[in-house]
Amino acid sequence: MSENNERMLREEISAAVNEKDYTIAVTKAEQMAGYFEEIGDSEKAKEAWMEAAKLFLEWSQNQRDNKTHKNSAKSMVHAADIFGNLGVEREAAQAIDLAAQDLALAGDEYIVWKQPVGAGVCYSAAAILYVLVSQEEKAHQVINQVKTRVDALRHDSAANAMMDLPLQLIYAKNQLDIQLLNNVKTMIYSSLIPALTNSGLSEFTSYIERTVLGVESYINATQKYPILEYEVKMKGEVQVDEAFDIQVMVKNSGEDTAHNIELEMVPKKEVTIVREFSKLKATEIPPGSAVALTWRCIVKSEHLIEETQQINLSARLSFSDSKGLQQTLTVSPIAFSTMSTKEQDQLGMELKVLKDNIQKYKENLLPIAEKAGEKVVSKIFDIIAQLIDQAEGFVGAGAVQDAKAWNKLLQLILELINDIPNQIEIDKE
């Protein structure tokens, strides 16, 4: 675009404004701004866009003077679009404020035309736009005006439903009620936004959506939630046919009180609850507090395939926050192994025999140790080396648990052997 062409465009814009032909004026201004963007002249592009925004403001005032408030509101939105794109947030907010004012007046016009739904759309959208620019008092004024003065609107259920939306939106924001907000959001997307399009007000859709997202972000950033953590406390081995306790310590590490806490064991045929019920309850857990929920259980031998058996349980922990929003956590694993009294008795007998044998071996070893002490000690460590080889064999075969048990036992043996010099006094010659 040459300087002559630019000068001609400016003259055409000026002439269009003089003729009150703002359609031509804003089109030419946007055309000029687009050209400067194409050639990379950001400074002139910004100036041209600012001129286009001011033309929309003038156009809006002209439409307002002519009592066509629906159109003046739309012109204000176009100005807000430009201010927003340029990052001039204060002017954008002022334009939306004025657009909301014009929409409310457009609602009055719809009442005169006996179109209550159109009026409801304008009033509802106006109130929501006031929420967007943090003018909730003005939003309440619009709502109260409709409820107290406009009889025609009160008798139309669809129009009434529109007016409930901004009221519930404000309530959800102030009460930090995300559940209510989700319900309002559904209604806005299913009723208000389609109605805006049908009324020729689709320009406002993005601002209505922006308001909902803003309220949602505010609630999520401000809302305090309970956060429940749990710890299972019980024996690792339990006796078959004898009662035992499973305790779940539940702590609230969040910032909101947890209500209606329920801990329910997932049924398993091997485990029978003999005290209380499968579902344990607590009324509330304040932040930083904890409760202990305990089942008294029994594993009956008649329900086991083998007397020694690994059992894994789980439970469901459910609770709600102060707003009634429910959550459910899975408590898992609750793991233990069973041990029968028969097996315990058998182990006791085997240990008794082992102790007797140790005494016999000791009696046999002592006379030899007196004559060949060094050889006896060497032989003992050879035996320990064989045990280590056995443990390494478990590792190589993938028998990790057996290897762990042998490793612990060998470490204990070595610690005891290492302490022998401290336990025996040798006379110095």
383 part of a folded domain:
yes
**pLDDT at position 190, please?**
95
pLDDT at 429 (0 to 100): 45
CA 148, 153, 156, 162 torsion-angle sign: negative
Same domain, yes or no: 170 and 124:
yes
The per-residue pLDDT for range 93-141, each reduced to its tens digit, is: 999 999 999 999 999 888 888 888 899 999 999 999 999 999 999 999 9
Domain boundary residue among 280, 315, 339?
Answer: 339
**Same domain, yes or no, for 259 and 154?**
no
What proportion of the chain, given as a percentage, has pLDDT over 90? 49
Q: Are strands 237-239 and 326-339 parallel, antiparallel or unpaired?
A: parallel
- Among the residue ranges 14-28, 82-96, 280-294, the one predicted with the least confidence is 14-28
Tens-place pLDDT, residues 274-305: 876 789 999 999 999 999 999 999 998 887 87
Report the C-alpha gap between 124 and 188 in whole angstroms: 10
Residue 422: band (very low, low, confident or very high) from pLDDT cuts 50, 70, 90: confident
Confidence label for 351 from pLDDT (cuts 50, 70 and 90)? low
* Shared-domain flag, residues 170 and 253: no
Total count of domains within the chain? 3
Q: How far is Cα 291 from Cα 294, in angstroms, rounded to an integer?
A: 10
Would you state the structure tokens that stand for residue 99, as one six-digit string?
């657009």
259 and 149 in a common domain: no
**Domain span including residue 95:** 67-222
322 backbone φψ class: left, alpha, beta (φ>0; ψ -120 to 50): alpha
Question: Do 286 and 207 share a domain, yes or no?
Answer: no
**Where is the domain boundary, 194, 222, 250?**
222
Q: Out of 52-56, 121-125, 218-222, 358-362, pick the least confident.
A: 358-362
Q: Is 270 within the bounds of a domain?
A: yes
Residues 232-236: contacts with CB under 8 Å, at least 24 apart: 232/331, 232/334, 234/334, 234/336, 235/336, 236/336, 236/337
pLDDT per residue over 322-343, tens digit each?
888 899 999 999 999 887 666 5
Residues 312 and 395 in one domain: no
Which domain CATH number covers 308? 2.60.40.10
- Please say which residue of 222, 250, 265 terminates a domain: 222
Amino acid symbol at 106:
A
**Domain assignment of residue 335, yes or no:** yes
Q: Does residue 333 fall inside a structural domain?
A: yes
**Predicted confidence (pLDDT) at residue 427 exceeds the cutoff of 60:** no
Q: Are residues 217 and 262 in the same domain?
A: no
399 & 413 share domain: yes
How much is the average pLDDT of 259-270? 94
| Region 11-30 average pLDDT | 85
Q: How far apart are CA 55 and CA 40, in angstroms?
A: 23
Q: Among 75-79, 97-101, 119-123, 390-394, where is mean pLDDT lowest?
A: 390-394
In this structure, the answer to whether residues 300 and 204 fall within a common structural domain is: no
